[in-house]
Structure 1
Amino acid sequence: MQLLSTRRRRIATAVATAALVAAPLVGAVAASAATATGTVNTTGNPGPALTVRAAPTAASEAVGKRSDGATVTIVCQTYGQQVTGTYGTTRIWDRIRSGGYVSDAFIRTGSDGLVAPLCPGTTTPPEPTPSAAVKATIAAARSMTGKYPYSWGGGSYSGPTRGICCSPSGIDDRQTVGFDCSGLMEYAFAKGAGLRLSSTSRSQYSDGPRVPISQLRAGDLVFWSSSSRTTTGIHHVALYVGDGLIVEADRVSGPDLRVRAFSTGETGVMPSVVRPIG
């Protein structure tokens, strides 16, 4: 949970250089009933035109261009070459109605995920095999489940601690030894990967590095905010462990430190996740 803290640590983040690429399919494509629209944004005033490719890869044949600011109709989406652009790094490519593909990294759709049906023949890329550091971090978080209660302000990189007074609901946890959501993350990453995270969910999100939730993988931090999904409204964090599951500390009926099923469509889930282990 979000707490005031003087301990802040900016986790170093490598920012990939944006590359202007776009992608595949020659020939006009008929629109379906489930199309979406997007706006080309290549950064600039105006930015350079976006190349339309014959396939979802920057190496494929160029079959057209779309000017910065142009509206495109997205007939379907698929996975292809990873591209870094205006809206981060993604493997999603948009098949447009006029024919060809453009990288979703340069298309403003209002979402970091899929907004149109998958193109025929598309297969979802498998989650990468977690690194040793990610596996150790997940194991550290799992090792605490069912052992301690939720404690507002409790937990640190060294393990469970007494909480503080008082939670937003007025609960005094000064005599309760355990973890709150961000304290559990602190412990897991310190124990598993030797990383010192900030001590609040809000600062953990600010520290980054952030990637779109459409690229979610094991070892990522998932965040919840108010209905507006703003950074200032962040109030909860959990560790994604793969296979649609998270480890979290929350004051709930049953074990407060638990593994549960997770959906990116849950109310308040932030559109980006934090990846402390690259």
Structure 2
Amino acid sequence: MKFLNVLLVSTAVAVGYIGKAEACITAEQDLDGRSSPSSSASRTTNVYKSGACINVKCQTTGDTLYGSNIWDYVLTLSSKDGKYYLPDTYVKTGYSGFDPNIPRCSSGGGGTGAGSDIVKKAQTQTGLPYSWGGGDNNGPTDGICCSPSGYDDRNVKGFDCSGLTKYAIYQTKKISLDHYTCSQYNDSRGKKIAYADAQPGDLIFWGSDSQQCNEHVAIFAGNGQMVEAKEHGVPLGTHPLRTGHAPYVVRF
């Protein structure tokens, strides 16, 4: 069956929840799986056959298909053992958004590790000083002169906020970002996601301009935390989330 134009699962029936960690939903037709929550990701045919119990581990967001950007992260128990993503359009858990009975995927999408890897990479720099203009794709650098507050950081090796995000994204995704918060916010390679749907590894922005992106950027770490190079005098680290952010995060 073709993934996008044939697998129209009209009435998948929930047959029960396995504890509180996953759901079993009956497949109405053969289902292909994707390696990530994207219609362009690599595909494995018939990871679930018609009538099989779909083992949904968690839900995440990805490409929008037929009006929904919810994807189900599943495990298979067949000759095609593996971990796959199915668009919830085809699984149909019965909710217009996230099913409250199914956990949300951590790590920026089911277990691919991309989101959590961004967080972990940023956290490897914990304790370094804030340095205005500091940081690049490869690590901490001397900063520049001079910050709006008059700091001359030409001899301070570390990161500023957008230098840290530039480093973490490049090290994990090989995407080279500009060293400026609003450029990162509007980078066409990223995807704007409602803040309420933020996942670890997403970039959060603050600012006084109309887009709320011209002052600061941090990395969402989950559990009410973010990783950031905050300001002079505060070592780089993981801090509690603050309010006043832009309504969207950016996912790379």
Moved over 3 A (4+): 80-85, 87-91, 121-125, 127-130
Change (3 A) 1:81 1:137: closer
Instruction: Tell me how far apart the structure 2 counterparts of residues 258 and 81 of structure 1 sit (CA, whole Å).
Output: 26
Shift of 1:133: 2.7
Matches within 5 A, 1:155-234: 155-207=135-187, 208-226=190-208, 230-231=210-211, 234=214
1:248 correspondence with 2:228: yes
What stretches of structure 1 of length at least 5 have no aligned partner?
1-79, 92-101, 105-120
Instruction: Tell me how far apart the structure 2 counterparts of residues 218 and 81 of structure 1 sit (CA, whole Å).
Output: 11
Change (3 A) 1:174 1:274: same
Instruction: Tell me how far apart the structure 1 counterparts of residues 124 and 198 of structure 2 sit (CA, whole Å).
Output: 22
- Alignment match, 2:104: 126
Shift of 1:174: 1.1
| Bigger proportion of residues as strand | 2
Q: What is the aligned counterpart of 1:142 among 120, 123, 137?
A: 123
Instruction: Tell me how far apart the structure 1 counterparts of residues 202 and 167 of structure 2 sit (CA, whole Å).
Output: 15
Instruction: Please tell me whether the aligned partners of residues 238 and 248 of structure 1 are also in contact (alpha carbons under 8 angstroms).
Output: yes
Instruction: Tell me how far apart the structure 2 counterparts of residues 81 and 182 of structure 1 sit (CA, whole Å).
Output: 26
- Alignment match, 1:237: 217
Instruction: Please tell me whether the aligned partners of residues 181 and 248 of structure 1 are also in contact (alpha carbons under 8 angstroms).
Output: yes
Change (3 A) 1:172 1:157: same
Superposed CA offset, 1:67-89 (max 9, x none): xxxxxxxxxxxxx998959x995
Superposed CA offset, 1:68-115 (max 9, x none): xxxxxxxxxxxx998959x99579xxxxxxxxxx969xxxxxxxxxxx
Instruction: Tell me how far apart the structure 2 counterparts of residues 220 and 193 of structure 1 sit (CA, whole Å).
Output: 12
- TM normalised by structure 2 equals 0.56
Instruction: Tell me how far apart the structure 1 counterparts of residues 111 and 241 of structure 2 sit (CA, whole Å).
Output: 18
Superposed CA offset, 1:215-259 (max 9, x none): 111110000111xx5227521000112222110001255x42010
Instruction: Tell me how far apart the structure 2 counterparts of residues 123 and 153 of structure 1 sit (CA, whole Å).
Output: 45
Q: Which has the higher contact order (CA 8 A, sep 6+)?
A: 1
Shift of 1:190: 1.6
**What percentage of residue pairs aligned between the two structures are identical?**
38
Q: Secondary structure, in 3 states, of the residue corresponding to 2:200? A: coil
- TM normalised by structure 1 equals 0.52
Count of aligned residue pairs for this structure pair: 167
Matches within 5 A, 1:28-43: none
Instruction: Tell me how far apart the structure 1 counterparts of residues 163 and 140 of structure 2 sit (CA, whole Å).
Output: 8
Shift of 1:123: 5.6
- Alignment match, 1:108: none
One-letter identity of the residue aligned with 2:204: V
Superposed CA offset, 1:26-47 (max 9, x none): xxxxxxxxxxxxxxxxxxxxxx
Change (3 A) 1:125 1:213: farther
Shift of 1:191: 1.6
One-letter identity of the residue aligned with 1:216: A
Instruction: Please tell me whether the aligned partners of residues 129 and 232 of structure 2 are also in contact (alpha carbons under 8 angstroms).
Output: no
Q: Secondary structure, in 3 states, of the residue corresponding to 2:186? A: helix
